[in-house]
């Protein structure tokens, strides 16, 4: 059984844009796979289909997660929520609830598995609370448990999202450019944590990235998209600049651009959409 199995997935948006074109893929249990491609190549769209957030074109097609269909022939299955219990998400835009504590955010991962009265009262069993603290310790931010999520740096928020996936007992992590908004040092920590979850908890990881060098460092396998098609699927190590040039032409530069040296001091964080608290780690 594979963690992900995709057959003949195509997606045409209402504006006529074909974002995914006959994708066939398998990702084995325990793999750590990079998804690369220039802006607009279809990475986010593909991840959203795997998660059952977006329905494919109404043609014969299938997406399975751990052997269970999540969508078929353009229809998302009715029990999508149950299937999604196996999936943890990490997005580029930090997706914690800002006004809640970090621990409560992590406990949200356990919510779907708890009986309704627990969900309504927000009364989490002691075992879950202990587990949430352990998960935060694993990703290196145990000291932040009682902080509001809004007070965490971007990198710390991403690590909290990974702790939430752990508490959820996710078996698959889909991460859509989780390091795109982070400085090099925070990026390295988030990627280290993803690799740790893959190695120590045997979580399957699919992570979309902009830079090929990060894919090479962390992911044995890379799937490369261009215009909604898989143009490469194989060892990351083989994606040398000449190969990328061949796959992407002049757009290759966007992917080859080396990520900055982690030792160089990060530029001061701009007051972005997350307010002045959104600082780098
Ligand atoms: N809801 C939508 N409606 C119409 N077109 C869309 C929609 N979402 C995405 N697209 C188009 O589909 C294509 C793939 O978009 P997608 O966001 O998957 O690319 P991406 O590889 O994630 O890019 P980036 O690296 O910029 O995040 C793009 O041409 C995009 O403009
Ligand atoms: Mg995207």
Last residue of one domain, picked from the residues 109, 141, 170: 170
Q: Is 37 in the pocket of ligand 1 (CB under 6 A)?
A: yes
**Domain termination residue (choose one: 146, 170, 194):** 170
Whether the Cβ atoms of residue 98 and residue 119 lie closer than 8 Å to each other = no
Q: Tell me the C-alpha distance between 200 and 196, whole Å.
A: 6
* Pocket residue to mutate for ligand 1, from 12, 15, 19, most atoms within 8 A of Cβ: 19
Q: At 30, which helix (H) or strand (E)?
A: none
The more confidently predicted of residues 133 and 267 is 133
Q: What is the pLDDT of residue 199?
A: 96
Number of domains present in the structure of the chain:
2
* 264 — pLDDT class (breaks 50, 70, 90): very low
Helix (H) / strand (E) containing 33: strand 32-36
219 and 152 co-located in one domain: no
Q: Is residue 243 part of a domain?
A: yes
Up-side HSE of residue 170: CA atoms within 13 Å toward CB? 31
Contact 219, 33 (CB under 8 A): yes
Q: What tokens does 111 get? A: 């919510």
**Same domain (yes/no): 80, 201:** yes
* Lowest mean pLDDT, pick from 54-68, 87-101, 169-183, 197-211: 87-101
The CB of 40 under 6 Å from ligand 1? The reply is: yes
Q: What is the residue with the minimal CA distance to atom 28 of ligand 1?
A: 40
Cα 97 versus chain centre, distance: 17
Q: Quick one: 148 and 194 in the same domain?
A: no
Residue 276 has pLDDT above 50, yes or no: no
For residues 252 and 263, membership in a common domain is answered with yes
pLDDT at site 120: 66
Residue 16 confidence (pLDDT): 93
Domain hosting 228: range is 2-86+171-280
User: Are both 120 and 204 inside the same structural domain?
Assistant: no
7 in helix, strand or coil?
A: strand
Residues 87/65, Cβ–Cβ less than 8 Å = yes
Average pLDDT over residues 119-147: 87
Among protein residues, the one with the nearest Cα to ligand 1's atom 3 is: 13
Predicted confidence (pLDDT) at residue 36 exceeds the cutoff of 70? yes
CATH number at 179 reads: 3.40.50.300
Pick from 199, 193, 97, 201: which is nearest to 141 by CA? Answer: 193
Q: Does residue 134 lie in a domain region? A: yes
Residue 184 has pLDDT above 70, yes or no: yes
Q: Is the pLDDT of residue 28 over 80?
A: yes
The mean pLDDT value for 179-195 works out to 93
Is 93 touching ligand 1 by the criterion CB < 6 Å? Answer: no
Please tell me whether residues 111 and 52 are part of one structural domain: no
What is the number of alpha carbons within 13 Å of residue 186 lying toward its C-beta? 24
> What's the pLDDT score for residue 254?
83
**Ligand whose nearest atom lies closest to the CA of 55:** 1
Cβ–Cβ under 8 Å, residues 186 and 179: yes
From 170, 190, 223, give the residue that closes a domain.
170
Distance 44 CA to ligand 1 centre (A): 7
Q: How confident is the model at residue 142 (pLDDT cuts 50, 70, 90)?
A: very high
The average pLDDT across 93-98 equals 84
The yes-or-no verdict on residue 260 having pLDDT over 70 is no
194/162 same-domain check: no
What is the pTM for the complete model shown?
Answer: 0.88
Q: Which residues contact 91 (CB under 8 A, 6 or more apart)?
A: 161, 175, 176, 177, 178
**What does the mean pLDDT of the chain come to?**
88
Residue 177: which pLDDT band, with cuts at 50, 70 and 90? very high
Helix (H, G, I), strand (E, B) or coil at 72: strand
Tell me the C-alpha distance between 256 and 211, whole Å: 6
pLDDT band at 259, cuts 50/70/90? low
**Residue 160 within a domain:** yes
Please state whether 91 falls in left (phi above 0), alpha (psi between -120 and 50) or beta.
Answer: beta
Cβ neighbours, 10 Å, residue 98: 15
Is there an atom of ligand 1 within 6 Å of 43 CB? yes
pLDDT at 273: 38
With 70 as the cut, is the pLDDT of residue 149 above it? yes
Task: List phi, psi (to 5°) of 3.
Answer: -70, -40
Are 98 and 148 in contact by the 8 Å Cβ rule? The answer is yes
Per the model's pLDDT, the better-predicted residue between 250 and 115 turns out to be 250
- Tell me the best of 10, 11, 13, 91 to mutate to test the pocket of ligand 1, counting ligand atoms within 8 Å of each CB and taking the most: 13
If asked whether residues 139 and 264 sit together in one domain, one would say no
State whether 164 and 183 are in the same domain.
Answer: no
Give the chain's radius of gyration (CA, Å): 19
In this structure, the dihedral spanned by the alpha carbons of residues 97, 99, 102 and 105, taken in order and rounded to 10 degrees, is: -40
Residue 269 above 50 pLDDT? no
């Amino acid at each position: 059984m594979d963690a992900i199995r995709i057959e003949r997935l195509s997606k045409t948006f209402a504006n006529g844009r074909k974002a995914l074109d006959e994708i066939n893929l398998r990702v084995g249990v325990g793999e750590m796979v990079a998804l690369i491609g220039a802006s607009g190549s279809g990475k986010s769209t593909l991840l959203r289909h795997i998660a059952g957030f977006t329905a494919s074109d109404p043609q014969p097609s299938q997406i399975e997660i751990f052997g269970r269909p999540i969508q078929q022939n353009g229809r998302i299955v009715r029990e999508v929520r149950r299937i999604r219990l196996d999936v943890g998400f990490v997005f580029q835009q930090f997706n914690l609830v800002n006004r809640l504590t970090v621990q409560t955010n992590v406990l949200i991962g356990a919510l779907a598995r708890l009986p309704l009265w627990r969900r309504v009262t927000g009364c989490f069993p002691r075992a879950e609370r202990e587990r949430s603290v352990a998960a935060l310790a694993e990703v290196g931010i145990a000291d932040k448990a009682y902080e509001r999520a809004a007070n965490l740096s971007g990198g710390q928020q991403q690590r909290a999202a990974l702790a939430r996936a752990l508490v959820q007992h996710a078996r698959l992590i889909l991460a859509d450019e989780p390091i795109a908004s982070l400085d090099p040092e925070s990026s390295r920590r988030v990627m280290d944590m993803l690799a740790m979850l893959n190695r120590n908890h045997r979580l399957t990881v699919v992570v979309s990235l902009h830079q090929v060098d990060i894919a090479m460092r962390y992911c044995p396998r890379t799937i490369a998209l261009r215009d909604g098609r898989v143009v490469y699927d194989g060892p990351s190590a083989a994606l040398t600049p000449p190969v990328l040039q061949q796959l992407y032409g002049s757009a290759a530069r966007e992917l080859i651009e080396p990520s900055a040296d982690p030792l160089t001091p990060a530029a001061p964080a701009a007051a972005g959409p997350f307010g002045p608290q959104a600082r780098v780690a």
